[in-house]
Amino acid sequence: MVLGGLEEVGRNMTVLENGDDIIIVDMGLQFPEEDMLGIDYIIPNISYLEGKSDKIRGVIITHGHYDHIGAIPHLMAKLGNPPIYTGALTAGLIGKRQVEFRQAPKLNMVLVNENSEIKLGKEFRVKFLRINHSIPDCFAVIVETSLGTIIHTGDFKIDYSPVNDKPADLNRIAQIGGRGVLLLLSDSTDSTHPGYQISESSIGDEMDKIFEKIEGRIIIGTFASQLSRVQKIFDLAEKYDRKIYLQGRSMNNNVEIAHQIGYLKFNPKILINDADLKHLPDNKILIIGTGAQGESNAFLSRVVNGEHRVISLKPGDTVIFSSSVIPGNERTIQTLRDMMVRQGANVINYEMMDIHAGGHAKQEDLKLMMRLLKPKYIMPIEGNHYMLRAHAQLAEQVGLSKDHILVADNGQVVEFRKEGGEVRGILTKEKVPTDYVMVDGLGVGDVSNIVLRDRRMMAEDGMIVVIATIDSKTGDTIGNPDIISRGFVYMKENRELIEKTRMKVKKLVKDHNQKTPADDEYIKNKIRNDISQFLFSQTKRRPMVLPVIIKV
């Protein structure tokens, strides 16, 4: 069953269960949708696994991106802190993130490479296959079981000339396919894009042309996790004799870890600090930072808004957006670019030149992977439902029959069993809980859909607080009710509406039965419902009404 990643991009987590043994592949977070106000990120719901920690034999992490490692600090303690099997760079990134969570347990990490072989419980033997993505140390997971071999690709692309990484061993992939694969769980993120993914090394050629022409400072916005891209930028800085000023905590952390392990190769003297920046001429400066998605607290936004302690934009600067736009961020990024151009900078984005290579296999790459592995069953993973369906169509083109293509929902149990000497796979009707667990500040899972609905309501229509003081003996109001409006109407300009609302509240309180003492809850509900209706009839807006009753 997949606990996240079949109805969204992110929150990736897959559970394999056989007999008394459970293994988990990936444990990621998902960034919030635009209407999830105040939410930092979303993690998988693991209620199915709670109480089963004695069966969990291990967690395998395919690579170091947050949509695959981000939930680890929140979930490991609840799962009994099983060992984590992953590559060296990924282990470094997981360890760095874990330090930020003081309550989280010390992790037991076991480093693996493409030659590793581990036995997890009685039922699972796990091997690893090196594949390429936009970060080094990525592995597909080969799980051998009594019923057959299952392969989980993780995020992958087929890159014949990757940067600072070995290309995937296509011979070995074909050999595995020759021995028989029962089920392939394959990355669907770019399944809607035709053709082949371009190699990361070709990005360097395009960027080289850009660097050659630029006289002023170069400022590059990219993902801190795109370490292959970062390596290319470091190489070009050396070629054009520019010093590098790194910005953003995640960027600094990732570069430091990758350099220590040997995945990023550069002379440390190329890096400069605040003081050096002031003394160097513009044509010797290259600034790399985060925020190419327009994130409000990231480096690029702080520069544009004049909030950065050292850097402000000036005419002659060239800003390169070296990452594609994540859907939903288009408007924010457009605003960022507009502000940059107003301040005199030139802006180059990935659409103007081929300066962005995706990290995911496109249609022809996905077909190649299927042809090499020849799986009996395929289950598209890692994408929205329409991406999974697009991947399913590719599987049909390659020759798989429809009943061997399993397009599941989050939490849907996919079962394999032996029937009459043959192993059959079915999508069952059984579903385990996979609703959103939202992280907001230090709270995990304490923000429900009801809280989000309230936030949306306040964001869209505002709120109004009605404070009524009531005589506890007679139940009559004392004086006029107080009204506070926030985000609904400006009170000074809407005196008539506020006055009408006051009188309405006064009448509501007065109308209760004089012989019985005023019941607080009854009056509050009456105010909430009637005032909400009244304000809607007057303004066609429905603010949140918060009644406060004070008895004297």
Ordered domains of the chain (ranges, CATH): 2-195+358-444 (3.60.15.10), 200-349 (3.40.50.10710), 449-551 (3.10.20.580)
pLDDT tens for each residue of 94-150: 998 998 888 889 999 999 999 999 999 999 999 999 999 888 889 999 999 999 999
Whether the CB-CB separation of 190 and 361 falls below 8 Å is answered with yes
- pLDDT, position 479: 83
What angle separates helix 227-239 from helix 200-213, to the nearest 10 degrees?
Answer: 40
Hey, what are 317's tokens?
């600067």
Q: Rounded to whole angstroms, how far apart are CA atoms 420 and 386? A: 35
Residue 198: closest CA among 317, 56, 358: 358
pLDDT of residue 261: 87
Of 303, 319, 289, nearest to 214 (Cα)? 319
Name the pairing type of β-strands 41-43 and 56-60: unpaired
Number of Cβ within 10 Å of residue 102's Cβ equals 7
Residue range 54-79: mean pLDDT, rounded: 94
pLDDT in tens, 273-303: 888 888 899 899 999 988 777 676 778 888 8
Biggest CA–CA distance in the chain, Å, is 90
Exposed, middle or buried by CB within 10 Å (0-12, 13-18, 19+), for 157? buried
The DSSP call for residue 518 is P
Q: What pLDDT score was predicted for residue 442?
A: 63
Supply the pLDDT for residue 355.
46
The model's confidence at residue 518, banded by pLDDT at 50, 70 and 90, is low
CA distance 242 to 286: 6
DSSP sequence for 163-219: SSSPPP-HHHHHHHHHH-EEEEEEE-TTTTS-S-PPPHHHHHHHHHHHHHH--S-EE
Asked if the model's pLDDT at residue 77 lies above 70, the reply is yes
pTM reported for the whole predicted model: 0.82
Q: What percent of the chain has pLDDT over 90?
A: 46
**Contact of 80 with 53, CB cutoff 8 Å:** yes
User: How crowded is residue 27: how many other Cβ atoms within 10 Å of its Cβ?
Assistant: 29
Query: Do 68 and 27 form a contact (C-beta atoms < 8 A)?
Result: yes
**Residue 229: count of CB within 10 angstroms of its CB:** 26
Work out the pLDDT band at 544, boundaries 50, 70, 90: confident
* Residue 5 token pair: 């990643």
Q: Which two tokens stand for residue 465?
A: 């607080």
Whole-angstrom CA distances from 161 to 168, 265, 389 are 10, 17, 30
pLDDT in tens, 358-383: 788 999 999 999 999 999 999 999 99
> What was the pLDDT predicted at 328?
60
**Predicted confidence (pLDDT) at residue 494 exceeds the cutoff of 90:** no
Looking at the DSSP bridge assignments, the partners of residue 417 are 424
Q: Give the mean pLDDT of the chain.
A: 87
Q: What is the pLDDT of residue 36?
A: 67
Annotate 213-276 with DSSP letters as a single string: H--S-EEEE--TT-HHHHHHHHHHHHHTT-EEEE-SHHHHHHHHHHHHHTSS---GGGB--HHH
| Per-residue pLDDT at 357 | 61
Half-sphere CA count of 294, side-chain side, radius 13 A: 17
Looking at the predicted structure, is the pLDDT value of residue 505 above 60?
A: yes
Q: Which region among 67-81, 119-133, 215-229, 414-428 has the lowest average model confidence (pLDDT)?
A: 215-229
Query: Is 2 a residue whose pLDDT tops 60?
Result: yes
Q: Contacts for 261-268 with beta carbons within 8 Å, 24 or more apart?
A: 261/88, 261/89, 261/92, 263/89, 263/136, 263/137, 263/164, 263/165, 263/227, 263/231, 264/164, 264/227, 264/230, 264/231, 264/234, 265/164, 265/231, 265/234, 266/231, 266/234, 266/238, 267/238
Q: Which residues pair with 111 in a beta bridge?
A: 86
Q: Is the pLDDT of residue 38 over 90?
A: no
